[in-house]
Amino acid sequence: MIHRLIARMLPFLPKKVVWLFSRRYISGIHLEDAVKAAIDLDQNGAWATVDHLGEFITELAQVAEAREACLNALELLAREDLNVTCSLKPTSFGLLINFDFCYQAVREVVMRAGELGKMVRIDMEDATCVDRELELYRRLHAEFPKNVGIVIQSYLRRTADDLIKLASWHSDKTPVNVRLCKGIYQESEVIAYKKRDEINERYLADLTFLFSHGIYVGIATHDKFLVRGAYDLIENFGLSPDQYEFQMLFGVTPELRAEIIGHGHHMRVYVPYGRDWFGYSTRRLRENPKMVGQIIKALFIR
Ligand code: FDA
């Protein structure tokens, strides 16, 4: 009970206090912190995707920071001999202010990724962004098919239709690359499935659809039930490890991560960094209020 209450209060607590709860999910403030984490992961058999934290800007002038951060990350990552991609949130590129401006800025990043042989993943945000984020992907994928990927959220009622659209864009020359996750934003019952069993059922149905269309999937989950379901599907479809990867968040369920790697599957870890860690952290902590309780105990009960 108490953890749930604290989790709800998080956005109103002083930032310093929230940082105490958050630091296990954030690699650090600087790009170098993310690269260090990526090197460490590489030594432990995992790839990384780095994410410069930032979202919901209010002025287009703020886009330059997000664009420069991604470009700098790509340059630095290209110098390291690591399999690392970049993830970005289109709202931090002005998606909700001016679509064309956002498209041009993200295009610049994806084009540079293409020149450097890297890939950029477009994260999926709340339901008001989905149409625009799919359109962003459609256009960029048509131009740079191997350098851009998208995220699909299984909790959305619309997802089965979106997957049909994605499959129609997929071919050997223009491979679609999807990260499949449950979805993290708070949506209404009209828009999203709310029950855990329903979401899990949808997730495995979506994964089956993607595999049956030969689409590369980043299986992004820490849910053991879904991981086992994915193992079964991988076996049933007779897939080799270069046709999919598992993905997890930095700091979450490291034992399950090691188990998956131990079974010979590829694993990519989402490594966030940057000054703007507050929104990201409060979402993660609200998702797992028990952790708040554990940290409070560790802090106060000695
Ligand atoms: P679930 O929430 O049921 O968690 C399963 C178990 O994992 C829990 O019982 C707990 O043990 C552990 N766990 C989960 N979260 C934890 C936490 N924060 N701390 C500690 N333990 C935790 N969403 C989105 O809307 N758009 C996006 O672009 C992305 N991108 C993305 C990338 C990657 C690599 C991952 C792994 C996830 C996302 N997500 C996302 C988030 C995703 O939608 C979802 O909210 C979380 O992954 C939690 O769902 P699970 O499938 O892990 O199951």
Residue 29 CA: distances (Å) to CA of 20, 26, 67, 100 = 14, 8, 17, 30
CATH number of domain containing 83? 3.20.20.220
Ligand 1: which atom is nearest the Cα of residue 269? 34
Mean pLDDT, range 182-201, rounded to an integer: 96
Ligand 1 atom 28 nearest Cα: 123
Pairwise CA distance, residues 239 & 83, whole Å? 21
Assess if residue 12 is contained within a domain: no
* pLDDT given for residue 222 in this prediction: 96
Query: pLDDT-based confidence at 179, cuts 50/70/90?
Result: very high
In this prediction, residue 61 carries a pLDDT of: 93
**Is 289 domain-assigned?**
no
Tens of pLDDT, residues 13-52: 777 777 777 788 889 989 999 999 999 999 999 999 999 9
pLDDT at 3: 65
Residues in the chain: 302
For 264-296, write each residue's pLDDT tens digit.
Answer: 999 999 999 998 777 777 777 777 676 665 555
C-beta separation of 136 from 122 below 8 A: yes
**Is 219 touching ligand 1 by the criterion CB < 6 Å?**
no
In terms of residue numbers, what domain contains 188? Answer: 27-276
Q: What pLDDT, on a 0 to 100 scale, did the predictor assign at position 86?
A: 97
Question: What is the number of structural domains in the chain?
Answer: 1
CB half-sphere exposure, 192, CA atoms < 13 A: 22
How much of the chain exceeds pLDDT 90, in percent? 77
Return the closest-CA partner of residue 165 out of 215, 204, 98, 107: 215
Å from CA of 269 to ligand 1 middle? 12
Nearest CA to 275 out of 32, 29, 88 is that of 29
Q: pLDDT-based confidence at 56, cuts 50/70/90?
A: low
User: pLDDT: is 288 or 298 the higher one?
Assistant: 288
d(CA 98, CA 72): 24
Whether residue 7 contacts residue 289, with contact meaning beta carbons closer than 8 Å, is answered with yes
On the question of pLDDT at 2 being above 70, the answer is no
Query: How is 42-67 classified by DSSP, letter by letter?
Result: HHTT-EEEEEE-----SSGGGHHHHH
Q: Which atom of ligand 1 is nearest to the CA of 49?
A: 34
Beta-strand runs (E) in the chain:
47-52, 84-88, 120-122, 148-153, 177-181, 216-220, 244-249, 267-273
133-175: per-residue pLDDT in tens?
999 999 999 999 999 999 999 999 999 999 999 999 999 999 9
Which residues contact residue 64 at a Cβ distance below 8 angstroms, ignoring those fewer than 6 apart? none
Atom 45 in ligand 1: residue holding the nearest Cα:
184
Decide whether any atom of ligand 1 lies within 6 Å of the 156 Cβ: no
Three-state SS annotation for 186-246: CCCCCCECCCHHHHHHHHHHHHHHHHHCCCEEEEECCCHHHHHHHHHHHHHCCCCHHHEEE
Distance CA 193, CA 50 (A): 29
User: Which pLDDT does position 181 carry in this prediction?
Assistant: 97
Q: What is the pLDDT of residue 220?
A: 97
* Residue 15 belongs to some domain of the structure: no
pTM for the model: 0.92
114 CA to middle of ligand 1, Å? 29
Tell me the average pLDDT across 198-205: 98
* Residue 116 maps to a domain: yes
Q: Is residue 258 part of a domain?
A: yes
- Residue 302's pLDDT is what? 34
Is residue 7 situated within a structural domain?
A: no
pLDDT tier at 55, thresholds 50, 70, 90: low
Q: Which atom of ligand 1 is nearest to the CA of 87?
A: 28
List, for residues 223-255, the tens digit of each pLDDT value: 999 999 999 999 999 999 999 999 999 989 999
Residue pLDDT, tens place only, 65-102 = 999 999 999 999 999 889 999 999 999 999 999 999 99
* Cβ(151) – ligand 1 distance below 6 Å: yes
Q: Which two tokens stand for residue 218?
A: 């980043």
Ligand 1 contact via 182 beta carbon (within 6 Å):
yes
Does residue 299 fall inside a structural domain? no
In a domain, 33, yes or no: yes
How many CA atoms does the CB half-sphere of 38 hold within 13 Å? 27
Ligand 1 pocket, residue 185 CB under 6 Å = yes
Q: What is the ipTM of this complex?
A: 0.96
Q: How far apart are CA 273 and CA 197, in angstroms?
A: 32
What pLDDT, on a 0 to 100 scale, did the predictor assign at position 57? 83
Cα distance between residue 69 and residue 275, in whole Å: 12
What is the structure's pLDDT at 268? 98
Catalytic residue annotation: 123, 179
